[in-house]
Structure 1
Amino acid sequence: MGSNSRYTATVSLVVMAAGFIGTLFVEGPTWVRFLQSGFEAGLVGGLADWFAVTALFRHPLGIPIPHTALLPKNREKVSRALVNTIQEDLLSKQSITDKLAQIPLVSKILQGAAGQLSTNSAKTGVVTLSEYAIRQLPLEKLAGLGEREVRHMIDALDLQDLLKQGLQQVYTRGYDEKVFDFALNTAEQLIMKPEIRDRMGAMASQALQNLNAGGMMQFALNAFAGFFNDEKLGGLIQQFMLNGLDGLRSVNNPNRKAVMRAIHSWLDNPGNQYKLAIEMDHWKAQLLDEWKLEEKLLEMLQRLQAQALEFVYREDYVEAYVIPVVNKLVNQVCDNEELLDRLESGLREQIARWIEANHHKIGTLIRENIDRFDDKTLITLMEDKIGGDLQWIRVNGAICGFLIGIVLAGIKIIAG
């Protein structure tokens, strides 16, 4: 575009020069003098404007005429004016802040990010980012931290108080009665076994034989032992014990109540509770040492990590899980006007601070881009961008001069 304009301007100047020379040596009618005056004035106007346009960028014809090559000589002033205009007027802090205030930044950012998640590149990025985050988890440190926290938590427990609370829950929920019934049922199952019955009979018979009562008592015992063999004696003892167990199953049985009172009295005794708490504390420390809690926690975390990676590798991971969660979160934020206003205010405040701290870099950036060009390159760029329009000044000068010359010739004729 610049070369075409320069060509047009040169042609206009050549036309004016040729017209002036052509009419200079022609004697003729009045219209020739009109043309001559027009071409003369057009040539003067074109030359003057050529000089003015050229003087902006360089010395005309290479002659160092004063007040020419204005831009190279005033490069610093031009650069400073350009920087100030852009930094203080076109891109001032207030103008940037006011423009950003008109844009709902948070909702646009959130909705834009949510909309991009459905693209293949975004899905790949989410999977890659999730995988990287999972693999970067410091499992050894987490296991060590977890082991220390568990130990600290268990060490901080008041086992005696915990035992009291546990007993209270046992009494309230009737677990003591259920345990007692379980013990009765277990005892009944053992007593019902034939080998247990026979064993009890043999033990009773042996005891009777070893008993030395003397007199009639010894005679009666020997007669009793001779009448009952081991099996009968065991069955008798078995039935006696089963009858006793049946009685203990009744909630209102006095023997049952006595046994339960004795058990409660022993468990509620502070001294016994203290002894139990000490035993529990020893057992707790031994269990933690033998269990190797840190290794167990590390194994658990490694399993969870492997499961998390398998979950991330699923084809529907982004579509079925990430996108719905993100969309739900975005909708909740956008529907909550109070939260959205707070986020907008916070974001604009941060942007305003960033602009305040970095606004001067706009001028620095412009200055750096200008300074990286030498004078010749900078002049060439400026001529390429605005030289085309300036060349039309030359064309307009030639044409306007031509018309003014004709008018002046007419005035001369009228005045003469």
Structure 2
Amino acid sequence: MRNSKHTATISLAVMAAGFIGTLLIEGPPWVRFLQTGFEAGLVGGLADWFAVTALFRHPLGIPIPHTALLPNNRDKVAKAFISTIQNDLLSKQSITNKLAEIPLLPRLLSAVQEQLTVDSTKAAIAKACEFIIRQLPLDKLADYAEKEAARLIRELDMRQLLEKGLAQAYAKGYDEKTFDFALDMAERLVSKTEIRDRMGAMAAQALTHMKTNGLMQFAMNAFVGFFNEEKLGQLIQQFILSGIAGMRDRENPNRQAVLESLRGWLNEPEHRSGIAAELEGLKAQLAEEMQLRGKIMDLLVRLQEQAVKSVGQPLFVDTHVVPFVQRLIQRLENDPELLKRLETGLKEQIARLIEANHHRIGVLIKENIDRFDDETLIELMEDKIGSDLQWIRVNGAVCGFLIGLVLAGLESVLR
């Protein structure tokens, strides 16, 4: 602007100097001819200087009416400017029409695919995943999980569960495995020396206090005198161990009898009902005493920390996020109907957003204009369009000079 203003000033000075110079010189007709041109150029230059200056401020500081047009009509100019942009240049219909021409979703998907290969994007995704995981409301999740777990426990049908459990136990031979486990425990218990001695002492005491008559009493006393506690314990131990060894044989009648008796007892409806009732009481007690919320909360905290640790791994985004997003994009691209529906829905949402917020364009422009005082706004406008306005002054001086020459020529011809 300074260069153009300097040029305009020089053009005005040239016209003034030419006019004064020709005015002082007495000479041939062509001097008067040039004088007319310089005079018209001076008038044109001064008139355009006045017009350009009057747009922004009072010429020479004199408050001439209809000057300093922009400061005096700031609100009108601002409203006209806002109206032009809001209702003409950026009208709702023009934005919507332009939006309809742009394939938003394909461009968005393409941009997402390109960004997935950028390291900064991968780092941002990892940070976002970590942030989301840490923002999970664990307290609310624990409360919800506790209520659901308690509800599931309360809704368990223990009679049905018992029947299914026994059916599975019979089908997979768990009853026989349990019986074999009991035999192992009994064998280990009976094989202990202190148990053997205890059994011998108990047998000797029982035989000593047994009361019979006649020959039977005599035989009993002779038996007790021959077998002491240790021998009685060994005899009983061997008898029990021999019985246990026999019970291990799956074809042993005694084993089959015990198992059939146990199964028969379990299959009786009244016994099953009793067991189911016991399980129902245990279920209610279990729901109250398990302190589910604390355990669930501990589990959620551990899962959260494991998830954060997993997200922090260098290959997490490449291994999990990128393939997932690529599969999703590929599915959309391979389904034109779905892509079209999503595109339509996206544009409808943007159109609603434009409809609801279009007036904010004018509000934003006005807020920005109001931030500047008159001097700052004038400086800003002069900086943007001042150079073109200064060239108006140059054109006025040059055109005035040429028009003066034409008029002088016409005058000389018509005389």
TM class by shorter-chain length?
A: 0.7 to 0.9
For 1:320, the equivalent position in structure 2 comes to 315
For 2:163, the equivalent position in structure 1 comes to 164
Residues in 2 aligned to 1:114 and 1:346: alpha-carbon distance in whole angstroms: 28
What amino acid sits opposite 1:108 in the alignment? Answer: A
Residues in 2 aligned to 1:131 and 1:369: alpha-carbon distance in whole angstroms: 36
Identify if the C-alpha distance between structure 1 residues 323 and 344 changes in structure 2 by more than 3 Å, giving closer, same or farther: farther
Mapped contact 2:133–2:307 kept (Cα < 8 A): no
For 1:115, the equivalent position in structure 2 comes to 118
What amino acid sits opposite 1:117 in the alignment? Answer: S
Residues in 2 aligned to 1:199 and 1:56: alpha-carbon distance in whole angstroms: 123
Cα deviation per residue 1:81-117 (whole Å; 9 max; x = unaligned)?
2112211233233444425834523553675487363
For 1:331, the equivalent position in structure 2 comes to 326
For 1:390, the equivalent position in structure 2 comes to 389
Deviation at residue 322 of structure 1 after TM alignment: 4.7
Deviation at residue 28 of structure 1 after TM alignment: 2.5
Deviation at residue 324 of structure 1 after TM alignment: 4.5
- What secondary structure does 1:251 align onto? coil
Residues in 1 aligned to 2:52 and 2:64: alpha-carbon distance in whole angstroms: 14
- What secondary structure does 1:252 align onto? coil
CA-atom RMSD, angstroms? 3.8
Alignment partner for residue 105 of structure 1, among 86, 91, 108? 108
For 1:39, the equivalent position in structure 2 comes to 38
Cα deviation per residue 1:241-266 (whole Å; 9 max; x = unaligned)?
33433332232333222211211121
Deviation at residue 216 of structure 1 after TM alignment: 4.2
Mapped contact 1:56–1:70 kept (Cα < 8 A): yes
For 1:16, the equivalent position in structure 2 comes to 15
| Structure 1 stretch displaced more, 242-251 or 52-61 | 52-61
What amino acid sits opposite 2:353 in the alignment? Answer: W
Mapped contact 1:57–1:71 kept (Cα < 8 A): yes
Deviation at residue 186 of structure 1 after TM alignment: 2.2
Deviation at residue 400 of structure 1 after TM alignment: 2.1
For 1:177, the equivalent position in structure 2 comes to 176
For 2:127, the equivalent position in structure 1 comes to 126
Mapped contact 2:116–2:322 kept (Cα < 8 A): no
Matches within 5 A, 1:72-151: 72-97=71-96, 98-99=98-99, 101-103=102-104, 104-105=107-108, 107-108=110-111, 112=115, 115=118, 117=120, 122=124, 126=127, 130=130, 134=134, 142-151=141-150
Identify if the C-alpha distance between structure 1 residues 247 and 12 changes in structure 2 by more than 3 Å, giving closer, same or farther: same
Residues in 2 aligned to 1:292 and 1:413: alpha-carbon distance in whole angstroms: 117
- What secondary structure does 1:28 align onto? coil
Matches within 5 A, 1:299-314: 299-301=298-300, 311=309
Cα deviation per residue 1:303-357 (whole Å; 9 max; x = unaligned)?
5666667x38xxx926333564433343233333247666655544433322221
Matches within 5 A, 1:349-368: 349-368=348-367
Residues in 1 aligned to 2:61 and 2:196: alpha-carbon distance in whole angstroms: 135
- What secondary structure does 1:157 align onto? coil
What amino acid sits opposite 1:184 in the alignment? Answer: L
Deviation at residue 165 of structure 1 after TM alignment: 1.6
Deviation at residue 239 of structure 1 after TM alignment: 3.8
Identify if the C-alpha distance between structure 1 residues 147 and 90 changes in structure 2 by more than 3 Å, giving closer, same or farther: same
Identify if the C-alpha distance between structure 1 residues 73 and 186 changes in structure 2 by more than 3 Å, giving closer, same or farther: closer
What amino acid sits opposite 2:279 in the alignment? Answer: M
Matched, 1:244 2:247: no
| Structure 1 stretch displaced more, 12-21 or 167-176 | 12-21
TM-score (normalizing by structure 2) = 0.80
Deviation at residue 58 of structure 1 after TM alignment: 4.5
Deviation at residue 17 of structure 1 after TM alignment: 2.2
Mapped contact 2:113–2:326 kept (Cα < 8 A): no
Residues in 2 aligned to 1:200 and 1:43: alpha-carbon distance in whole angstroms: 142
Residues in 1 aligned to 2:320 and 2:382: alpha-carbon distance in whole angstroms: 56
What amino acid sits opposite 2:20 in the alignment? Answer: I
Residues in 1 aligned to 2:138 and 2:64: alpha-carbon distance in whole angstroms: 79
Residues in 2 aligned to 1:204 and 1:372: alpha-carbon distance in whole angstroms: 110
Mapped contact 1:20–1:40 kept (Cα < 8 A): yes
For 1:381, the equivalent position in structure 2 comes to 380
Instruction: List gaps (5 residues or longer) in structure 2.
Output: none
| Structure 1 stretch displaced more, 218-227 or 396-405 | 218-227
Residues in 2 aligned to 1:298 and 1:380: alpha-carbon distance in whole angstroms: 64
Cα deviation per residue 1:357-395 (whole Å; 9 max; x = unaligned)?
111111112123334445555444333332321121121
Residues in 2 aligned to 1:369 and 1:140: alpha-carbon distance in whole angstroms: 46
Mapped contact 2:44–2:397 kept (Cα < 8 A): yes
| Structure 1 stretch displaced more, 111-120 or 350-359 | 111-120
